[in-house]
Structure 1
Amino acid sequence: MSQEQDGPAVPQVTVEALQRALASEHAALWAYKMALAFVPPDWADHARADIEAHTTLRGQITQTLSEVGQRPVSAQPAYTPPQPVVDAVSAGAMLVAAETDTIAAWRSVMERSSQVPLREAGLKAMTECTGRLAYWRTVTERSPVIPVFPGRS
């Protein structure tokens, strides 16, 4: 996702989409870390791998924004889950929401960028997030496992 210093400037609309994607990655990491307190060991192993993936994405966006002279948005101290998290199923539902939000944010990056490297990064992130979403929808018994148009409300 890095931007060459000699390359064309990144339009403000693209920067805003990247900032929203970064904010969604911050929120997803918070959700995953909270979920670890509620999920069974086999789900926790999967959650830890997902934390690594989101940490990598967060780092890539932060680097890209810094390289184009933008200050990356900071994480919030806490986020509001869509419903109270009281057990494994509600924690899994929170992770479904987090992955859904990150897919939408990455879709926005693809739609608001004309630069091939950013569009490719957005597609790759959307694809990976959709795989994680499928896992969490499966373990929380949601159907369909993969929505018809991931990232679209």
Structure 2
Amino acid sequence: MTTLADALAAEHAAIYAYGPIGARLTAAAVTAARSAEAAHRSRRDALILKLTGEGATPAPAAPAYTLPFPVTDQASALRLAVEIEDRTAAVWRGCLPTTTGTDRATALAGLTDAAVRATRWRRAAALTPATVPYPGRP
């Protein structure tokens, strides 16, 4: 079962990935990447406040993360953006069975937001299909 601490780790990783992603994008895609990174930062900050408020000590971000493949051009940056959003959606989806109330609403919003961003990145990369039947599902 995935916890909100796992979601925090996924948000840390997503924030890190948008560095190499943004470095290889051009034009409007850069603006979209900045917006996506800001959304992940906002979720990360909210999770840190939530976990701290519950008496937990949230894990800090790792100094670096291993990317699943080299990001060498715009096409690979777009593929990584899709993968990062899909992975983040999967972690948020995993939180749903173990959460209730506002935590469940937070998990559902995290899943939905990541799934929408993944779809937008698929469209930017001209990948088909642009959507998946069950976001966050392996």
TM-score by length of 1: 0.86
Post-superposition offset of 1:82 = 1.5
2:107 pairs, out of 93, 115, 122, with 122
1:111 pairs, out of 97, 100, 117, with 97
1:102 pairs, out of 75, 88, 97, with 88
Number of equivalent positions: 138
Structure 2 Cα separation of the partners of residues 44 and 26 of structure 1: 19
Post-superposition offset of 1:41 = 1.9
What is the aligned-residue identity percentage? Answer: 33
Q: CA RMSD in A?
A: 1.2
Question: Residues 1-153 of structure 1 correspond to what in structure 2 (within 5 A)?
Answer: 17-113=3-99, 115-153=100-138
Question: What secondary structure is seen at the aligned counterpart in 1 of 2:23?
Answer: coil
Counterpart of 2:26, as a letter, is: P
Structure 2 Cα separation of the partners of residues 144 and 112 of structure 1: 31
Structure 2 Cα separation of the partners of residues 145 and 95 of structure 1: 13
Structure 1 Cα separation of the partners of residues 134 and 97 of structure 2: 14
Post-superposition offset of 1:131 = 1.0
Question: What secondary structure is seen at the aligned counterpart in 1 of 2:25?
Answer: coil
Instruction: Please identify the structure whose Cα radius of gyration is greater.
Output: 1
Structure 2 Cα separation of the partners of residues 112 and 34 of structure 1: 33
Q: Select the structure that is richer in helix.
A: 2
Give the unaligned 5+ runs of structure 1.
1-12
Structure 2 Cα separation of the partners of residues 148 and 98 of structure 1: 18
Counterpart of 2:71, as a letter, is: V
Counterpart of 2:86, as a letter, is: T
Counterpart of 1:123, as a letter, is: L
Structure 1 Cα separation of the partners of residues 81 and 63 of structure 2: 18
Question: What secondary structure is seen at the aligned counterpart in 2 of 1:36?
Answer: helix
Post-superposition offset of 1:34 = 1.7
Post-superposition offset of 1:90 = 0.4
Structure 1 stretch displaced more, 53-62 or 135-144 = 135-144
Residue 3 (structure 1) aligns with: none
